[in-house]
Amino acid sequence: MIKLYGIKSCPECSGLYEQVKNDDRFEIIDVAQHILLLKEFLRLRDNRDEFEPARENGYAGLPVFLLEDGSITFTPEDVGLKSCPLTDEVIDALHKEAEELRGKY
């Protein structure tokens, strides 16, 4: 089974979630849902060379696919999916939403 690590509030991730819904080849792991899922992802991200560019540039490294053979890809097309590119409009909306959420529970 292919593990898809992501976060529901990430447009790239949620677009992929829609594509794999009801596809038993994929397991969605939303790392924002539980601290143990986040730790599982962080162990992967902090210890795999594939994440070096993400770490160097301050990116989370999501979405990412962990394949059955243990290899990693960030490219949806590698697992038969379509990329969900971000537009400037979506990025601006994300920043606005994040700013509104600061300090709120």
Question: pLDDT digit string (tens) for 3-32?
Answer: 999 998 888 898 999 999 999 999 999 999
Whether the per-residue pLDDT at 105 is higher than 80: the answer is no
Return the CATH number of 2-101, one of 3.40.30, 1.10.3470, 3.30.2320, 3.30.300.
Answer: 3.40.30
Under a CB-based contact definition with an 8 Å cutoff, are residues 16 and 83 in contact?
no
Neighbours of 44 (CB within 10 A): 18
Q: Hey, where are the domains in the chain?
A: 2-101
